[in-house]
Amino acid sequence: MAIRVGFIGLGNQGKPIAAHLAPAGFETIVYDIDSEPVALLVEGGARAAATPREVGENADIVGICVPEDKHVLAVALGEEGVLSGMGEGSVLLVHSTILPETIEELARVAVERGVEVMDACVTGGAMRAKARQLTYLIGGSEAALKKVAVYLEATTDVPVIHAGALGSGAKLKLCINLITYIQWAAAHESMLLARAIGLPQEVLEAAGRANGQMTDLMVAFLAVHKVPEADRLSDSFQEMMRRNMKIAEKDLAWALRLARESDIALPVGGIVAQSMARIYGVEDAGRR
């Protein structure tokens, strides 16, 4: 029997992941509160669902890629949630960056229906997702990983990283994101100093790349600060940066929460968490 797949959350990250599924030959059903990306996926061979439950009723493997823990719980639980429609033996993959306890909460509900949940967090961004260069950081059983291998292989050419038991993928993603945002803070401050003392940003980047201190991620992030001032202050650009800032602040808050629960301190992470508006160039007096 052919494997049916579903996808919920067709935003900046979710849409390019889901776009690979129907062209790979899967019977695909998708859901999002925004009709525009749904229509684009339908053009690519997918079918639109009216509710998350309908996705669950018509898929053996379902991916969820929504912004935060509360959104994951909203689309997964309840009478119209995806779990209410999923059948025994199916697998729910959560691609969102969330707390391990959120995954565990879903798993407790899912097991009653014979559904297995995996944290299948993603790293790499929208462009890498589109190019099939996304990395999956996965927590869950080996048996479930075998079930979803075809889904993962259809959406990336990068070998998956099986971090361990349920929740391990979510933990690993928070560790990785902590590295990312600290890198960006370092790049941002060195850029500010270079500019203040009369050095072009391009010279700083060339020197940093030459000795390996500046990564591809850091250089890509610094491109944000090459945008002309008028464009940077535009409503559309500021809104995009504000969305990114809020995601970063949430991810760092979760990393700091895990650190407190583990009785360790992350002093640099704490400072960076309070600096994301400045790092992203968001004009927000309350966060600057």
- pLDDT digits over 131-176, tens only? 999 999 999 999 999 999 999 999 999 999 999 999 999 999 999 9
Res 276: pLDDT: 95
Write a three-state SS string for the chain: CCCEEEEECCCCCHHHHHCCCHHHCCEEEEECCCHHHHHHHHHCCCEECCCHHHHHHCCCEEEECCCCHHHHHHHHCCCCCHHHHCCCCCEEEECCCCCHHHHHHHHHHHHHHCCEEEEEEEECHHHHHHCCCCEEEEECCHHHHHHCHHHHHHHCCCCCEEEECCCHHHHHHHHHHHHHHHHHHHHHHHHHHHHHCCCCHHHHHHHHHHCCCCCHHHHHHHHHHHCCHHHHCCHHHHHHHHHHHHHHHHHHHHHHHHHHHCCCCCHHHHHHHCCHHHHHCCCCHHHC
Confidence of residue 285 (pLDDT cuts 50, 70, 90): confident
Res 31: pLDDT: 98
Looking at the chain, the domain(s) classified CATH 3.40.50.720 span: 4-165
Looking at the chain, the domain(s) classified CATH 1.10.1040.10 span: 172-287
In CATH, the number for domain 4-165 is: 3.40.50.720
What is the tens place of the pLDDT at every residue in 171-221? Answer: 999 999 999 999 999 999 999 999 999 999 999 999 999 999 999 889 999
Res 288: pLDDT: 67
Is the pLDDT at 1 greater than 60? The verdict is: no
Res 65: pLDDT: 97
What is the tens place of the pLDDT at every residue in 232-262? Answer: 999 999 999 999 999 999 999 999 999 999 9
What is the tens place of the pLDDT at every residue in 47-106? Answer: 999 999 999 999 999 999 999 999 999 999 999 999 999 999 999 999 999 999 999 999
Mean pLDDT of all residues in 277-281: 94
Confidence of residue 284 (pLDDT cuts 50, 70, 90): confident
pTM of the shown model: 0.93
* Architecture of the domain made up of 172-287: Orthogonal Bundle (1.10)
